[in-house]
Chains A and B, each alone.
Chain A
Amino acid sequence: MKPLNEMRLKIESRSVNEAFGRSVVAAFAAQLDPNVEEISDIRTAVSEAVTNCIVHAYANSVGPIYIWSGIYENGIIKIKIRDSGCGIEDVRKAMEPLYTTLGGERAGLGFAVMESFCDKVRVRSKKGIGTVVTLEKRIKGRDSDA
């Protein structure tokens, strides 16, 4: 299905770009007239995916993060966050709540947060090739606030 509108963004995997990445997607989503909660859901989910690229995919290097987003019928927004980093050995394990390969300050909740704030989260990864995270959410809009 062809999106009604789409955008692309390429950023370097520097942590200072986390705020930029999530803000761009949130600004793009604004055309769906989301309510405050929905815009926070998108900002948070994108922030998790971009952070994963920075701390995991390109753990010891700086590489490109490709963000694509498309708007579809019925208020659906899809967001793809792709990297050409190290890839995930075991995606199912990586998506388990509280599982982290880093320990310490990382809660191991990145995917759990994405799942709780989006309708669908899909992860495709290949060792040594990279990872694509696809988020999907239906925006009900500001009329649904009440």
Chain B
Amino acid sequence: MAIKIISSSARISIYLNGEIDHHNAAVIRYEADEAIQASMPKTVRIDFSNVSFMDSSGIGFVMGRFRLVNGYGGKVEVVGLSERLYSMMKLAGLEKLVKLEKKQEKGK
């Protein structure tokens, strides 16, 4: 699991890479929250394009970041979702809390 964070004053982009389970979620949560709390940006964008596996820990990760960011009036965007991850996020009703965007299909 790897995480890359690109930060500007108005926006933080969090790029997740690899497998998100309960074990890996602890690390990415720590890194993400440190960056978010340092600048409290208006928009936090979480990119799942390179996530190869996710269980409900990934949903918990988005819900947790939503609570944090919503707490100071910011918003969360989730992008790069495969059909599978998109339907898992909807299982949690996350589309009511954050903007969900599917991955662009290759060759389209």
List the interface of chain A (C-beta within 8 A of B).
15-16, 18-19, 37, 40, 43-44, 47-48, 51, 54-55, 97-98, 104-107, 109-110, 112-113, 116
Q: Are A19 and B88 in contact (CB under 8 A)?
A: no
Q: Are B55 and A48 in contact (CB under 8 A)?
A: yes
Q: Are A113 and B91 in contact (CB under 8 A)?
A: yes
Q: Are A18 and B22 in contact (CB under 8 A)?
A: yes
Among candidates B25, B56, B84, residue contacting A40 with C-beta atoms closer than 8 Å: B84
Min CB gap B8→A, angstroms: 26
Q: Are A15 and B22 in contact (CB under 8 A)?
A: yes
Among all A-B residue pairs, the 4 with the closest Cβ atoms: A15-B23, A47-B55, A107-B60, A109-B56
Q: Which residue of B lies closest to A102 (CB)?
A: B60
Instruction: Determine the distance from Cα of A37 to Cα of B85 in the docked complex, in whole angstroms.
Output: 12
Q: What is the size, in residues, of chain B's interface with A at 8 Å between Cβ atoms?
A: 22
Among candidates A37, A40, A55, A112, residue contacting B22 with C-beta atoms closer than 8 Å: A55
Instruction: Determine the distance from Cα of A54 to Cα of B21 in the docked complex, in whole angstroms.
Output: 12
Chain B residue contacts of A112, Cβ below 8 A: 56, 91
Q: Are B56 and A107 in contact (CB under 8 A)?
A: yes
Min CB gap A96→B, angstroms: 13
List 20 interface pairs A-B (beta carbons < 8 Å), by A numbering: A15-B23, A19-B19, A19-B21, A40-B53, A43-B53, A44-B53, A44-B54, A44-B55, A48-B55, A51-B56, A97-B91, A104-B64, A105-B57, A106-B57, A106-B60, A107-B56, A110-B56, A113-B55, A113-B88, A116-B91
With A98-B93, A105-B57 known, 15 other A-B pairs at CB within 8 A are: A15-B26, A19-B19, A40-B53, A47-B21, A48-B55, A48-B56, A105-B25, A105-B64, A107-B56, A107-B60, A107-B63, A109-B60, A109-B92, A110-B56, A113-B91
